[in-house]
Amino acid sequence: MPVLKPFRLRSTVHDWLGAPVTARHGILLLVALMLSVCIGEVQAGPAAPSILATILKWTPLLAQGFALNIAMSFLAMAIGTVLGLALGLGLIAVTRPVRATSWLITQFFRNAPWLVLLFYCILLMPFEVRIGATIIPLPGWAKSTAGLALPVMANVAELVRGAVQSIPSGQWEAAEALAFTRLQTLRLVVLPQCVKRMTPPWMNLYAIVVVATPLTSIVGVSEAMTLTGDVLSSEGRTELLVPMYLYLLTWFFIYCYPIARATVALERRFQVP
Amino acid sequence: MTSGWPPELPLIRMRDVHKKFGAATVIDGISIDVMKGEVICIIGPSGAGKSTLLRCINALVPIDSGSILVGGQEVNDPKLDKLALRRKVGMVFQQYNLFPHRTALANVMMAPLHVLKRSRAEVEAEARALMRKVRLEGKENSYPGELSGGQQQRVAIARSLAMQPAAMLFDEVTAALDPETVKEVLVTILELAEEGMTCVIVTHEMGFAREIADQIYFTDRGIVVEHGPPAEFFTNCKDERTRRFLSQVL
């Protein structure tokens, strides 16, 4: 029966991420990191402070920056998801103008390069908003978060549309025959079934947003990537370059790896036998 | 709503119903009367428009011309209150179409709770009674995926009955079932019919049609070729097409 047929929602976002990251990749990364540290030590010579000690010295600062990356990814995801749900419902609206408008917005923000959206937000948004007497400052990280939220919104909208359309038409028919209104059908029958289907690709999208946050370093946000650059220029040692960036990469891996594994596990579980 | 329906008037009255899908004519002038408490079976080859006709009765599919009156309500009316119509007419589908994310009991309770806005306690008591009626006591908390086809179909019948419809439409409800579970579903429908439920049944189960129906309608290419009470229909049908069809399926 079609309702229970094995179902696998192909990720609509970046198919190249479909291949799951495994622990092997992590080990590879660690080996590369250690190797680069060793090479660095050799290059630096015995007189210079050790690479490892330097990395550890800067770790608290990098952690601060990384916390901002996480905070931006969380906020962008939250805002993007709320907006995306609304936009996704617009994509399946009965009224044509609503559908067409939603489609345009979705296509624009889904296909525009993230960096371009980021620049738009940084350059077009004011540095502060005045509401009556109160002035709300808009720092770079806040504007960047908005810039990241836009493509998230468009991708979530597509996830919603895809999930809704993947629900067998018999579900709509049965609900209609029971005198449910369209909104009731969506709320009680269709969307609850979509949540399950959308969760794995949604988590996938989150991992993508996390690794996209270093883009904001280009517009001057003091996140981990920017700070790494600052550290390198203040240390002024070329042999630090490779180990430092690999170290940063490891942070991202450690954060994203569990998400990737959980996504794969959920995808497997939701493949109804 | 239809409990006081005058017995001399048909509860469902179809007159010269036409329906096209693009260039294909699916229903080409069908007129059928269904009295209150009557059971009619519609049989015929695939593609004869049987399922479409059922969907026209509860306005899942709009008709092109003609008239369908259900309890005095005209279905072919642009101002039709579809929700009011569908509260009067229950429908059971070939593929059950249960809501897979809710338990059997929740499936039965959903429409009375959210459409009729009745109190939960009352609805739950009725839903449990309906589960007993379709002999699924103990399966209240099972999810549709955990039930057999026959059990799912009986939940679907209970779900439809929970709206207390005046008439029920059955669309080839045993066509997707394993042979050993067909009977339990047919028995459930038979009991309903004996209680006086008005039923319009599209089926390929000739034995069942013969046993349950007050009137049998044979349709082919969008028209009613022949109809009559089962005893008469099965023993001396007049039309050549009917005879050919019966010789193939009996």
User: What's A77-124 look like in SS3?
Assistant: HHHHHHHHHHHHHHHCCCCHHHHHHHHHHHHHHHHCCHHHHHHHHHHH
Report the range of poorest mean pLDDT among A18-22, B5-9, B17-21, B171-175.
Answer: A18-22
Place of tokens 């949540």: A195
What chain A residue is nearest to B170 in terms of C-alpha separation?
A: A177
Q: Chain A interface, mutation test: which of B83, B87, B99, B173, most A Cβ atoms within 10 Å? A: B99
| Architecture of the domain whose range is B10-97+166-249 | 3-Layer(aba) Sandwich (3.40)
Cβ burial, residue B106 (10 Å; 0-12/13-18/19+): middle
- CB-based contact, B58 to chain A, within 8 Å: yes
SS percent in chain B: helix, strand, coil, step 5: 40, 25, 35
Task: For CA atoms B122, B127, B132, B133, give the dihedral sign.
Answer: positive
- CB-based contact, A2 to chain B, within 8 Å: yes
Please name every residue paired with B34 in a beta bridge, in sequence order, or none if there are none. B12
User: Under an 8 A CB cutoff, do B176 and A1 touch?
Assistant: yes
Four-way CATH pick for A21-270: 1.10.8.10, 3.40.50.1580, 3.40.50.720, 1.10.3720.10: 1.10.3720.10
- CB-based contact, B115 to chain A, within 8 Å: yes
Give the pLDDT of residue A1. Answer: 44
Give the pLDDT of residue B49. Answer: 86
Report the range of poorest mean pLDDT among A25-39, A211-225, B1-15, B104-118.
Answer: B1-15
ipTM of this predicted complex? 0.91
- The whole-chain average pLDDT of chain B stands at 92
- CB-based contact, B93 to chain A, within 8 Å: yes
Beta strands in chain A (DSSP E): 128-131, 134-137
Chain A residues lying within 8 Å of B145, measured CB to CB: 4, 272
Delimit the domains of chain A by residue range: 21-270
Task: Indicate the pLDDT class of residue B241, thresholds 50, 70 and 90.
Answer: confident
Cα gap B176→B208, rounded to integer Å: 16
Give the pLDDT of residue A18. Answer: 52
Q: Which of B89, B100, B160 sits opposite A193 (nearest CB)?
A: B100
User: Under an 8 A CB cutoff, do A174 and B101 touch?
Assistant: no
The stretches in chain A having pLDDT less than 70 are: 1-20, 271-273
Give the pLDDT of residue B135. Answer: 94
Which of the pair, A16 or B166, is modelled with greater confidence?
B166
Give the pLDDT of residue A4. Answer: 52
Give the pLDDT of residue A273. Answer: 40
